[in-house]
């Protein structure tokens, strides 16, 4: 017996392609001339309009206030601060030294009206100097600072690389990235993601709409929270360390290492639990139960790990975590172990093979390739995940081909709506 589900899944892809086709056709019609190669850079001059160096003594700090633009702070071994700035003729940059502070800010030049425009800075400071940057539309990069770093912006990404001081980063509409730093890291944003990699020290990361990744880090204590996003943590967990991870609408995946020594507390209201460790759940509890609350001990149990998700799955691994796309396919393969899915026999195998073939063909240059590889990858992952969920829900409620067909049709409608929004 042939299954109508592959046809429904294919219909979803064809509907997506139909929606994308007019935009692609319009692009082809408008492309009446040869491709134009864009170059990096804006209207500012290649040569800084401001280049000023001031001597400093230990204990002083840098404070930069910027309305809009980019700021890159680097370090050197001199007891001096060099300020290089690119800006228009309407702006002038002031560098003032007072009260143990080197203060940098832009003002409008005499005779000009209105606020200062875009100003891009490259500032070089001593390694020992504390750095404080703030702005409304400020994109900031700090490299190699050996003292406290504080960055606050409304709209702009923040990147901190290297260094050995406490780091406090705040943004509203900006991504935060911290790499290879030593010291306490506190990162907060609202509508973007946070990534902390190769860090040694305590980590506090909080966002509302975004994912959080903490990888290859030796965090003595960790506190991560997000509302709409996934959390990924790759340990190891330190002795007597406290690791608290919470998300409302997202999955949690943690890797604690082969020799993990931790007591792990699990709480989820609407998600599954899985683990590479041989964890046996309490009597009467299934990994698929919606409301789960339990704990288990790995090794000596010296660290405390608390994982809580309201509407997401929780996975505890002993080895490296799989990449996102590989994980999604793996989750569907494991779903075949469910007795209802297994009872479907060839139908389940056909569903998996057909969806994989559609995704692979698309990414290889099929109907959506012209829309853009990044969008295609995102849509592919969403389709796979949605088909997985639809099939699983259908077989949980009724081993009925008609029910599965209806679920797949719902997936098609949802995917079309999502692409329209993009």
pLDDT at 149 over 50: yes
Total count of domains within the chain? 3
Residue 57 belongs to a domain: yes
Residue 123 belongs to a domain: yes
Residue 33 belongs to a domain: no
E strand or H helix at 412, and its extent?
Answer: helix 401-421
Q: Which of 139, 159, 192 is the last residue of a domain?
A: 192
Average pLDDT over residues 304-310: 92
pLDDT at 337 over 50: no
Residue 140 belongs to a domain: yes
pLDDT at 5 over 80: no
Q: How confident is the model at residue 17 (pLDDT cuts 50, 70, 90)?
A: very low
Closest C-alpha among 166, 202, 205 to residue 188: 205
> What pLDDT, on a 0 to 100 scale, did the predictor assign at position 370?
43
Residue 257 belongs to a domain: yes
Q: What is the mean pLDDT of the chain?
A: 76
Q: How confident is the model at residue 52 (pLDDT cuts 50, 70, 90)?
A: very high
Q: Cβ distance 271 to 288 under 8 Å?
A: no
> What pLDDT, on a 0 to 100 scale, did the predictor assign at position 290?
67
pLDDT at 114 over 70: no
**Helices 5-30 and 401-421: crossing angle, nearest 10°?**
20
Distances (CA, A) of 316 to 191, 235, 263: 27, 11, 12
Total residue count of the chain as it appears in this document: 422
Phi then psi dihedrals of residue 42, to 5 deg = -120, -155
> What pLDDT, on a 0 to 100 scale, did the predictor assign at position 381?
56
How many Cβ atoms sit within 10 Å of the Cβ of residue 48?
17
> What pLDDT, on a 0 to 100 scale, did the predictor assign at position 334?
45
Closest C-alpha among 292, 265, 291, 297 to residue 278: 297
- Which residues does residue 120 pair with via DSSP β-bridges, in sequence order? 86
> What pLDDT, on a 0 to 100 scale, did the predictor assign at position 364?
52
Average pLDDT over residues 114-130: 88
pLDDT tens digits for 151-190?
999 989 999 998 888 999 999 999 999 999 988 999 999 9
> What pLDDT, on a 0 to 100 scale, did the predictor assign at position 72?
95
Average pLDDT over residues 116-129: 90
Same domain, 96 and 132: yes
pLDDT at 301 over 80: yes
Same domain, 115 and 168: yes
Residue 3 belongs to a domain: no
Same domain, 181 and 246: no
> Could you give the count of Cα atoms lying within 13 Å of 95 in the half-sphere of its Cβ?
17
Range in 55-59, 108-112, 263-267 the model is least confident about: 108-112
Q: With b meaning 16 or more CB within 10 Å and e meaning fewer, what string describes 372-408?
A: eeeebbebbbbbbebbbebbbebbeeeeebebbbebb
Same domain, 278 and 330: no
Domain range for 176: 50-192
Average pLDDT over residues 28-49: 68
Average pLDDT over residues 239-247: 92
Range in 57-61, 96-100, 234-238, 341-345 the model is least confident about: 341-345
Q: With b meaning 16 or more CB within 10 Å and e meaning fewer, what string describes 55-85?
A: ebeeebbbbbebbbbbbbbbbeeeeebbbbb
> What pLDDT, on a 0 to 100 scale, did the predictor assign at position 368?
43
Q: Which of 297, 321, 345 is the last residue of a domain?
A: 321
pLDDT at 60 over 50: yes
Same domain, 310 and 360: no
378 vs 230, higher pLDDT: 230
Same domain, 61 and 188: yes
> What pLDDT, on a 0 to 100 scale, did the predictor assign at position 292?
83
The CA distance from 404 to 390, in Å, is 7
Q: Which of 192, 225, 259 is the last residue of a domain?
A: 192
Q: How confident is the model at residue 148 (pLDDT cuts 50, 70, 90)?
A: very high
> What pLDDT, on a 0 to 100 scale, did the predictor assign at position 350?
53
Range in 44-48, 202-206, 217-221 the model is least confident about: 44-48
Q: How confident is the model at residue 134 (pLDDT cuts 50, 70, 90)?
A: very high
The first and second tokens of residue 120, run together, are 């891009």
The CA distance from 130 to 148, in Å, is 5
> What pLDDT, on a 0 to 100 scale, did the predictor assign at position 286?
72
Same domain, 54 and 158: yes
Residue 64 belongs to a domain: yes
> What pLDDT, on a 0 to 100 scale, did the predictor assign at position 180?
92
User: Which residue spans within 290-422 are E strands per DSSP?
Assistant: 292-298, 303-309, 314-317
pLDDT at 138 over 80: yes
Same domain, 96 and 219: no
- Percent pLDDT > 90 in the chain is 38
pLDDT at 44 over 50: yes
Same domain, 188 and 54: yes
What pTM does this model have?
A: 0.68
Q: How confident is the model at residue 291 (pLDDT cuts 50, 70, 90)?
A: confident
Range in 10-24, 377-391, 399-413 the model is least confident about: 10-24
> What pLDDT, on a 0 to 100 scale, did the predictor assign at position 388?
57
Same domain, 277 and 328: no
Same domain, 187 and 286: no
Same domain, 55 and 169: yes
Q: Cβ distance 248 to 269 under 8 Å?
A: no
Residue 381 belongs to a domain: yes
């Amino acid at each position: 017996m042939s299954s109508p589900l592959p046809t429904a899944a294919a219909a979803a892809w064809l509907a997506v392609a139909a929606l994308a086709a007019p935009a692609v056709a319009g692009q082809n019609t408008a492309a009446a001339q040869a491709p134009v190669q864009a170059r990096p850079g804006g209207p500012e001059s290649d040569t800084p309009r401001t280049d000023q160096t001031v001597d400093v003594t230990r204990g002083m700090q840098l404070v930069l206030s910027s309305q809009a633009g980019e700021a890159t702070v680097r370090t050197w071994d001199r007891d001096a601060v060099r300020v290089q700035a690119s800006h228009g003729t309407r702006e002038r940059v002031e560098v003032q030294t007072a009260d143990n502070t080197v203060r940098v800010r832009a003002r409008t030049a005499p005779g000009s009206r209105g606020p200062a425009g875009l100003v891009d800075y490259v500032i070089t400071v001593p390694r020992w100097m504390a750095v404080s940057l703030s702005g409304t539309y400020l994109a900031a990069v700090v490299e190699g600072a050996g003292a406290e770093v504080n960055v606050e912006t409304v709209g702009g990404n923040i990147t901190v690389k290297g260094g050995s001081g406490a780091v406090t980063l705040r943004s509203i509409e900006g991504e935060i990235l911290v790499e290879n730093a030593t010291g306490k890291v506190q990162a907060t944003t609202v509508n973007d993601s946070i990534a902390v990699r190769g860090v040694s020290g305590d980590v506090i990361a909080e966002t509302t709409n975004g994912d959080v990744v903490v990888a290859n880090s030796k965090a003595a204590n960790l506190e991560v929270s997000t509302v709409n996003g996934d959390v990924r943590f790759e340990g190891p967990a330190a002795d007597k360390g406290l690791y608290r991870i919470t998300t409302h609408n997202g999955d949690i995946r943690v890797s604690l290492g082969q020799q993990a020594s931790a007591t792990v507390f699990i709480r989820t209201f609407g998600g599954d639990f899985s683990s590479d460790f041989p964890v046996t759940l309490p009597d009467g509890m299934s990994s698929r139960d919606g409301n789960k609350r339990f704990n288990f001990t790995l090794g000596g149990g010296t660290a405390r790990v608390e994982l809580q998700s309201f509407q997401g799955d929780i996975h505890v691994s002993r080895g490296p975590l799989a990449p996102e796309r590989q994980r999604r396919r793996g989750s569907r393969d494991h779903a075949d172990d469910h007795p209802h899915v297994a009872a479907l026999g060839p139908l389940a195998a056909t569903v998996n093979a057909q969806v994989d073939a559609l995704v692979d063909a698309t990414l290889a240059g099929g109907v959506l390739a012209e829309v853009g590889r990044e969008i295609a990858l995102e849509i592919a992952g969403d389709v796979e995940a949605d088909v997985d969920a639809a099939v699983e829900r259908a077989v949980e409620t009724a081993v009925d081909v008609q029910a599965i067909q209806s679920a797949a049709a719902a997936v098609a409608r949802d995917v079309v709506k999502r692409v329209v929004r993009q």
